[in-house]
Structure 1
Amino acid sequence: MKWTLSQLRKFNDEAVEFDGELNIHDLTDRRDVVSVESAYVKGEVLVQRDQFHVQLSIDSIINMLDSRTSEEIQVPVSVESMEIFDETVDDEDDLAENVHPVIHTLDLEPVIRELIIVNLPNAYTKSEELTASGKDWTVIDEDDHLHESAEKVDPRLGKLKALLDSDEKKED
């Protein structure tokens, strides 16, 4: 997904459609991202003088580690974006969010990579229930906790409970 600007200028005020699969290796250095299964990109480039408006639709499947179980799972990522490549802008600090400087070639791969990375979930799991436990602790429902705490009496307060029970018997 790379064109020279002279190739694109032949289509002045026309849309150039494209679609295809992009091979992306080493997407990010995040430990939970294992690999990119596939990245299908389609869209169009509208050529207008010194600007190139690119409408992108990205559908990819990312192999990630499950946040709870650490098993490898497939996470679908879909992104829709409008990116503008401008020849007249030299300084990236003066650019708006979706405007990119371009000199001789229009290369979409870095933008596609960035869009996929930004849209990756921070934590993802396919598991619906909490089955976590560890040394000396487990995850329990709130109802179970309330039931357990109502039955248990702190041993340090056992004498006070006995005193309270004896006061109740005296009142009867």
Structure 2
Amino acid sequence: MKWTLSQLRKFSDEVIEFDGELELDDLTDRRDIVSVDSTKVNGGIVVRSDQFHVQMNIDSIITMLDSRTSEEIQVPVSVESMEIFDETVEETDDLDENVHPVIHTLDLEPVIRELIIVNLPNAYTESEELAAGGKDWMVIEEDDYLREDEEKVDPRLEKLKALLDSDEEKED
């Protein structure tokens, strides 16, 4: 998904439609990402003097490791974005995150790669089952925790609890 600026200028103030697939081998160095199965990108480019406005729809399927079971699972990622490529700005300029400097060629691949990475979940699972526990910890329901917390009495307050219990028995 790469065009020279001279190719794009031929279509000034027209929408240049594009639709294609992109092969992304090494998406990121995250260990939970196994592979990028397919990435489909479509949208349009509008040429305006020194700016190129690109509206993109990205649909990708990423094979990741399940956060709980470590099995390989398919994670769909869908992103819509409006990006502006500008010839008059430089990399050192303080830019909006959707404005990119461009010289000679408009290459969408780095931007597509970045958009997918930013929209990937940090943890993803298809398992409905809660983890039972691990070394020195276990999962319990909130009600059980509250009941357990109520049953615990500070040893320093044990005598006061006995007085409270005895007062309740006198009232009955």
Query: Is the partner of 1:28 in helix, strand or coil?
Result: coil
Deviation at 1:137, TM superposition (A): 3.5
Equivalent position of 2:48 in the other structure: 48
Q: Equivalent residues in 2 for 1:5-44 (5 A)?
A: 5-44=5-44
Identity of aligned residues (%): 79
Equivalent position of 2:102 in the other structure: 102
Q: Equivalent residues in 2 for 1:111-122 (5 A)?
A: 111-122=111-122
Q: Contact (CA 8 Å) 1:58, 1:79: kept in 2 or not?
A: yes
Equivalent position of 2:142 in the other structure: 142
TM-score normalized by structure 1? Answer: 0.83
Q: Contact (CA 8 Å) 1:92, 1:101: kept in 2 or not?
A: no
Deviation at 1:49, TM superposition (A): 1.1
TM-score normalized by structure 2? Answer: 0.83
Query: Is the partner of 1:128 in helix, strand or coil?
Result: coil
Deviation at 1:148, TM superposition (A): 5.8
2:130 maps to amino acid: L
Q: Map Cα deviations across residues 87-128 of structure 1 (whole Å, 9 max, x no partner).
A: 111244332221111111000000000000011111111122
1-structure distance, mates of 2:79, 2:30? 20
Deviation at 1:141, TM superposition (A): 1.6
1-structure distance, mates of 2:64, 2:2? 28
Which stretch shows the higher mean deviation, 94-103 or 11-20?
94-103
Structural RMSD (CA):
2.9
Q: Map Cα deviations across residues 29-68 of structure 1 (whole Å, 9 max, x no partner).
A: 0111111111100000001111100001001011111111
Equivalent position of 1:75 in the other structure: 75
1:12 maps to amino acid: S
From the superposition, tell whether residues 153 and 57 of structure 1 become closer, same or farther in structure 2 (CA, over 3 Å): same
Where do 5+ consecutive residues of structure 2 fail to align? none
Where do 5+ consecutive residues of structure 1 fail to align? none
1-structure distance, mates of 2:149, 2:54? 61
Is 1:61 the equivalent of 2:61?
yes
Deviation at 1:151, TM superposition (A): 7.4
Q: Contact (CA 8 Å) 1:53, 1:83: kept in 2 or not?
A: yes
Deviation at 1:18, TM superposition (A): 0.3
